[in-house]
Amino acid sequence: MRGERVYLVLGCGDVGFSVASRLKRRGAELVVVDKDAKKIEWFKKMGYSAFVGDFCLPDVLKDAGISRAEVVLLMIPDFRLTERALGAINRLKAELKIDPVVVARVLDESETAEVKHLGASDALPSSQILANFTLSRFEELKGMVKEKRLRALLGELGGRIAIVLQTNPDPDGIASGVALKRYAQAFGIDADIIYDGSIGHQQNRALVNLLDLDLLHAEDVKFDNYTAFALVDVATHANCALPKDILPTIVIDHHPVPSSEVHARYQDITIVGSTSTLLTNYLRYAAVEIDGATAAALVIGTLTDTMNFTRGTTPTDFEAFEHLMKLADVELLGKLQSPAVPPDALDVLARAIKGSKLNGGYLITNVGEVDDRDTLPQASDFLLKREGVQTVLVYGIWNNLVCVSARTNDIAIHLGQALRQAFSEIGSAGGHARMAGAMIPLKAIKAKSKRVLKRAIDRQVGRKFLEVVGVTKPSKRGRTRPRSKR
């Protein structure tokens, strides 16, 4: 019955009915159980699956289908009855080897600890049920169900897990990898975090350095050594180092991906602001301690992916974030938020400022040779803040390539398209409307000698871009025309 989430609602007074009807409206499959035959008759008339019987008896729960239930909601106001029902559920958990999420109604907060002690996963005070059983609560129940499934899967796995991040991982991916490793370790399974591409940008490096993370590069990894493979913040082979002939065991991602493209024994594709949010909840629901450093990393993961809560944020993100902020190492968080800038990035920035030419709102600058390609986008990010600048194009030579980084605040141009139009004939280019990049092999630049190379690049990259966006007219001498492919 995989994939079919069945809710068992025990007790259907006013509260039970209210919860059942809200679940039904959300499309959940549910079964209602109560001793009162008249009430059950009425539920049946309303189109519910309903069952008459005393749910404190294991046999009644079996007949009602508890073996299929992923969530059991005990909605009765009587604590002694709740206690007996929990006893019956506990017996069946062992007997049927099931582990549903059990939520019990309590009169007040003081009973919460007691029902949890008796085996409930969570408690809902009566006062809150009617007010609070809204979308976020429903999402939370779904999250708890998923966590139980993942835990059950981990219980079946032996050996070591390869946690594979997306190519050129970002803070959300790295933090999620760290959190999943922690989660797996809590259940006795060790894991390695594997990436490919590079750990660019200071914020990523700060995460790795300050948390003292031991990430493995895919080139140094033998995938045969692992018994299971988890993808976090990525869902398919397309954007990570997992070899094509290996299917992932676990996929946890927040990007919308058609489920037909995801092939894994366990998959959680939930559209929220960050994978960090999802992993935070896995740790919470499993009651795995989140240390200050991991919490800080997850905070950074959420902040960067949601652009400080301005993009794709859901109530689930806010709620997980609130939880993390209570645990995060504040000093570490400060360091992660404004990581130290390495000297060569400052050096490139200095050259970018010095060499910049402003034309209309367009700032163009050639920084010459760089050791680290990532210093280019950092320079363009910075220069976009300059007063009067709408669009920035920074370029320089790295590894026999002319690398181009562009940023804009101008809604009238689409940078990805502009860069493709300007450079796809002599190199590769792409990106979004507001940020884009290009790479052009140095040998595609037409220059008579090394001495004039810089000026040739300025002409064929900087000036070419200005022509494409319509700031300057194409040169009559035709020198900016891309060289035809040989």
User: Can you tell me which of 139, 147, 233, 268 binds Mn ion, judged by CB under 5 A?
Assistant: 233
Stretch that binds Mn ion, among 142-150, 205-213, 236-244, 300-308 (CB under 5 A): 300-308
Buried b / exposed e across 233-242, counting CB within 10 Å, b at 16+?
bbbbbebbbb
Q: Which is nearer to Mn ion, 161 or 235 (CB)?
A: 235
> Where does residue 478 rank: exposed (0-12), middle (13-18), buried (19+ CB within 10 A)?
exposed
Residue nearest to Mn ion (CB): 172
Cβ atoms 115, 145 nearer than 8 A: no
Give every CB contact of residue 116 below 8 A, 6+ residues apart in sequence.
Answer: 122, 123
Q: Which is nearer to Mn ion, 88 or 264 (CB)?
A: 264
| Residues 268 to 287 in contact with Mn ion, rule: CB under 5 A | 275
- Both tokens of 432, joined, read 């979004």
Stretch that binds Mn ion, among 14-22, 27-35, 186-194, 229-237 (CB under 5 A): 229-237
Give every CB contact of residue 355 below 8 A, 6+ residues apart in sequence.
Answer: 365, 366, 367
Closest distance between Mn ion and the C-beta of residue 269, in Å?
12
Q: Does 253 bind Mn ion (CB under 5 A)?
A: no
Closest distance between Mn ion and the C-beta of residue 187, in Å?
24
Cβ atoms 434, 408 nearer than 8 A: yes
Helices 292-305 and 275-285 cross at an angle (nearest 10°) of 150
- With residues binned 3-state (H G I as helix, E B as strand, rest as coil), the percentages for the chain, rounded to 5, are 45, 20, 35
Q: Which is nearer to Mn ion, 177 or 437 (CB)?
A: 177
- Give whole-number Cα distances, 9 to 19, 86, 168, 478, in Å: 8, 13, 46, 76
- Both tokens of 56, joined, read 């404190």
- List 403's β-bridge partners, or say none: 396, 439
Q: Which is nearer to Mn ion, 233 or 374 (CB)?
A: 233
Mask for 449-468, x = binds Mn ion (CB under 5 A): --------------------
- List 395's β-bridge partners, or say none: 366, 404
Closest distance between Mn ion and the C-beta of residue 171, in Å?
9
User: Can you tell me which of 70, 111, 147, 172 binds Mn ion, judged by CB under 5 A?
Assistant: 172
Q: Which is nearer to Mn ion, 154 or 174 (CB)?
A: 174
Stretch that binds Mn ion, among 297-305, 311-319, 324-332, 350-358 (CB under 5 A): 297-305
Stretch that binds Mn ion, among 228-236, 327-335, 353-361, 470-478 (CB under 5 A): 228-236
| Residues 136 to 155 in contact with Mn ion, rule: CB under 5 A | none
Please state whether beta strands 401-408 and 435-441 pair in parallel, antiparallel, or not at all (unpaired): antiparallel
Stretch that binds Mn ion, among 21-29, 172-180, 198-206, 360-368 (CB under 5 A): 172-180
Q: Which is nearer to Mn ion, 385 or 432 (CB)?
A: 432
- Both tokens of 333, joined, read 């968080």
Stretch that binds Mn ion, among 56-64, 179-187, 299-307, 411-419 (CB under 5 A): 299-307
User: Can you tell me which of 305, 317, 329, 374 binds Mn ion, judged by CB under 5 A?
Assistant: 305
Q: Which is nearer to Mn ion, 147 or 172 (CB)?
A: 172
Q: Total residues at the site for Mn ion (CB under 5 A)?
A: 4
Residue 297's Cα: distance from chain center in Å?
Answer: 13
Closest distance between Mn ion and the C-beta of residue 206, in Å?
18
Binding footprint of Mn ion on the chain (CB under 5 A): 172, 233, 275, 305
